[in-house]
A and B are shown apart, each in its own frame.
Chain A
Amino acid sequence: MRSAVSGLASGDGVAAMRSMGRIIRSGERVALSHYHLDPAQWSEMLTVPGTTLPLISCWADDARAYVLLLEGDCPLLASTIVEDRRYLAPSSRFAGAEWGERVSYDLYGVEAMDARGNGAPALDEGGWTSTWPLSSRPGPAAGGLRPLAGSHLLRPEQTGLSGPLEFSFEVLKGKIRDVEVCAGAAHRGLIARLAGKTPEEAMSLVSRVTAGGFVAHPLAFARAVAQARGLVPGPGIRDVWMILLEIERISIHLFDMARTARGVDAELLATHCDHAREAIARACAEQGVSRRLMDMVTCDGFRDGLEIVPLAQAVHAAMQPRLAALEELHRVFAPRLDGFATLDARLAERFAVGGVTGRSSGRSMDMRRREAGMRLEALRATGSSQGDARAREGLRLAEIRDSLALMERILGSIGLEDDEPAPDRTEEGIGVAEGGRGDVWYWVRLKEGQIESLHVRDPGVSLLPVLGAMLRGYAVDRVPAALGSIGLSPAGIAL
């Protein structure tokens, strides 16, 4: 695995960045990228002056609190002990940590001290059979749903999203001022369902975390498991995984483009997206795999019988001739998306927003670029820094073109790259896959071959803290169109 540190900061920023990284590395190294910090080191990490490393995710359980950070393009995981159900809040330093702290409180009853925000429930709306259901000491059921605060509500069935997410808004003179999100309606208790299973047993459920990542989620999980076991998939497997991920990216981008187009009455563009996506699904089915590539990724490779070369060729042949019309239609309809639901570049940077939404706001983060064996020359799309729905739609199209080019390159040299060295087996691993909607992360710790502990970070989570800014100033009835252009999965967020 390469360890290039690049691109995030320069000058004194690099010095400061190193110092946060150095504090973390002064802790006890327990896995490839994981350091145990004592409370003093944890506190120092949260208060050290200078640049803050980008936060990928934050979570806590009964025993420990964790922050997963990016140093350059490499993950760095720090954790500390939870004492008396409390830990010093990462959100005191990392603005995006608040969601993870609220989720951890709802699931384990562990409290983040000096946390940012109002501490409103993220998942537990009062309907569960117990409070703190994953805690070693769960509490009694709350005995009824708690209504959300806020002057205006968007009920879960009114968001235009594929799953139930509840929004409450502060509205002034008909315009949104602030947004609160609760994901309890979509929460299925995934962590509880996966704990205690072997990775192989868990895979079928991981394959159903979200339809926005039927490939990306299992792939990130498989990579985490491989690292925990001290294994590196060979170049043949690696290339198959890359191709599956690109096919999914094209399909999800087309889905999100169609939704965005319908949000501004661009039905002709939506029609072309629908047909292109269906052509890809049919190409997959004709090659004997599921239409949306479910259950293709396994812990040690891919499903028996998968013939990747004809599959990639069939998808390429279905998609390539349709690109020119899509690009032309995008040019015609794009002005309707100008300035709509804009994410400011500074916010994208501050909250480490990835995926299309982050990249179209000027962030360069694409986790594919760090993968061994990646044909980097195929990844040409840079996006703009406008950050609006037009930029997102344009980038999706450019990325579809890149995906086709990447598939061509991989087919031209499939399985030919050298093997990477395997990491030591530590029973702990971190895996990432750059899915159609952004970077999907898994952290897994195994014990006697079973999942002892697990964390999942869907890219939708990084969007939650910036939604308020993106929707500010719009009427509530514009929210579904805005959300459609962002590409959020409630199932991925809530788990």
Chain B
Amino acid sequence: MSVRRTGPLSLLYAFMDATRWRPSMQETAPRRERPIGLYVLETGGCEGCFMEIESLNGSAFALEQAGFVCVNDPADADWLLLTGAVTRVCAEMVDRVWRAMPPGRCLIAVGACAVDGGPFPAGYATLGGLQALTPVRRSIAGCPPSPEDLLRALQELAQG
């Protein structure tokens, strides 16, 4: 039987729940001088991959404890996480964001669309994934990958 927590103490319970749920890394978090900055860019998929990254960046997962931080400005980013099939209109946006990132930047295709278009191969409006613009060296498979899959893959990529 669940206890119905209402009344003046309910906020305290809500806060305690949030603290109790705070995700922790099972393995030891990697030692880095600073977290790896992730900039996420959707380029014309179904938004499923983008939303899974947003979930990973939410409170239910330990993205920051794992040594990553999502940033809002490409100038603060180390890695560009690209989702979606890369529409022809978006190519210019990808280029603009990539150029705004500092040296040492790294490009990661997230999801089937971003690698080769996935369900949306090249057409009059789409390029068919990142591979049309550049060789794809780093990618995370899935349609969409779950937040756990994403986190695991990011950690593997960080370990080289």
CA distance in complex: A255, B123 (Å)? 31
Looking at the complex, which one of B46, B89, B124, B146 makes contact with A185 (CB distance below 8 Å)?
B89
CB distance from A234 to the nearest CB of B (A): 30
A178-195 Cβ-contact flags toward B at 8 Å (1 or 0): 000000111111001100
Number of residues of chain B lying within 8 A (CB) of chain A:
48
Looking at the complex, which one of A157, A490, A494 makes contact with B93 (CB distance below 8 Å)?
A157
CA distance in complex: A258, B56 (Å)? 13
Contact B17 A274 (CB under 8 A): no
B91-123 Cβ-contact flags toward A at 8 Å (1 or 0): 111000100000000000000000000011001
Looking at the complex, which one of B15, B50, B123 makes contact with A188 (CB distance below 8 Å)?
B123
Contact A145 B10 (CB under 8 A): no
Contact A162-B125, Cβ < 8 Å, known A129-B88, A157-B93: no
Instruction: Say which one of B24-32, B37-45, B132-140, B150-158 lies at the interface with A.
Output: B37-45
Contact A292 B21 (CB under 8 A): no
Contact A211 B125 (CB under 8 A): no
Contact A157-B123, Cβ < 8 Å, known A324-B4, A325-B10: no
Contact B120 A188 (CB under 8 A): yes
> B residues within 8 A CB of A324?
4-6, 10
> A residues within 8 A CB of B60?
274-275, 277-278
> A residues within 8 A CB of B11?
328-329, 332
Is A442 interfacial (CB-CB < 8 Å)?
no
Contact A214 B48 (CB under 8 A): yes
CA distance in complex: A490, B13 (Å)? 37
Contact A204-B55, Cβ < 8 Å, known A192-B124, A272-B18: no
CB distance from B21 to the nearest CB of A (A): 5
CA distance in complex: A205, B143 (Å)? 12
Number of residues of chain A lying within 8 A (CB) of chain B:
57
> B residues within 8 A CB of A292?
48, 144
CA distance in complex: A270, B51 (Å)? 15
> B residues within 8 A CB of A123?
125
B residues 42-86 in Cβ contact with A at 8 Å:
42-48, 50-51, 54-55, 58-61, 84-85
Looking at the complex, which one of A268, A275, A328 makes contact with B6 (CB distance below 8 Å)?
A328
> A residues within 8 A CB of B13?
325
> B residues within 8 A CB of A274?
55, 58-60
> B residues within 8 A CB of A329?
11, 14
CB distance from A127 to the nearest CB of B (A): 4
Q: Interface SS of chain A: helix, strand, loop or mixed?
A: helix
CA distance in complex: A148, B154 (Å)? 36
Contact B6 A188 (CB under 8 A): no
CA distance in complex: A66, B120 (Å)? 27
Contact A491 B126 (CB under 8 A): no
> B residues within 8 A CB of A164?
42-44, 84, 87, 89-90, 93
Is B159 interfacial (CB-CB < 8 Å)?
no
> A residues within 8 A CB of B50?
162-163, 211
Contact B93 A156 (CB under 8 A): yes
Is A155 interfacial (CB-CB < 8 Å)?
yes
> A residues within 8 A CB of B18?
268, 271-272, 275
> B residues within 8 A CB of A155?
93
Contact B21 A271 (CB under 8 A): yes
A residues 322-374 in Cβ contact with B at 8 Å:
324-325, 328-329, 332
CA distance in complex: A440, B15 (Å)? 37
> A residues within 8 A CB of B144?
211, 292
Is A128 interfacial (CB-CB < 8 Å)?
yes
Contact B55 A278 (CB under 8 A): yes
A271-306 Cβ-contact flags toward B at 8 Å (1 or 0): 110110110010001000001101000000000000
CB distance from A48 to the nearest CB of B (A): 38
Contact A188 B48 (CB under 8 A): no
Is A403 interfacial (CB-CB < 8 Å)?
no
Is A383 interfacial (CB-CB < 8 Å)?
no
Contact B84 A163 (CB under 8 A): yes
Contact A271-B87, Cβ < 8 Å, known A133-B124, A164-B93: no
Is A208 interfacial (CB-CB < 8 Å)?
yes
> A residues within 8 A CB of B88?
127-129
Contact A268 B14 (CB under 8 A): yes
Contact A321 B2 (CB under 8 A): yes
CB distance from B123 to the nearest CB of A (A): 4
CA distance in complex: A294, B143 (Å)? 9
CA distance in complex: A258, B123 (Å)? 35
CA distance in complex: A163, B50 (Å)? 8
CB distance from A144 to the nearest CB of B (A): 10
Contact A162-B54, Cβ < 8 Å, known A188-B125, A491-B46: yes
Chain B residues close to A by CB (< 8 Å) = 2, 4-6, 10-11, 13-15, 17-18, 21, 41-48, 50-51, 54-55, 58-61, 84-85, 87-93, 97, 119-120, 123-126, 143-144, 146-147
- 27 chain-A/chain-B pairs, Cβ below 8 angstroms: A127-B88, A127-B91, A128-B125, A129-B124, A133-B125, A155-B93, A157-B97, A162-B42, A163-B45, A163-B47, A185-B43, A186-B87, A188-B45, A189-B124, A193-B120, A211-B46, A211-B47, A211-B144, A255-B54, A271-B59, A274-B60, A275-B18, A291-B146, A294-B143, A328-B11, A328-B14, A329-B11
Sample of 9 more A-B contacts, CB < 8 Å, known A188-B125, A189-B126: A127-B87, A162-B54, A211-B144, A274-B58, A277-B55, A291-B146, A325-B5, A325-B17, A328-B6
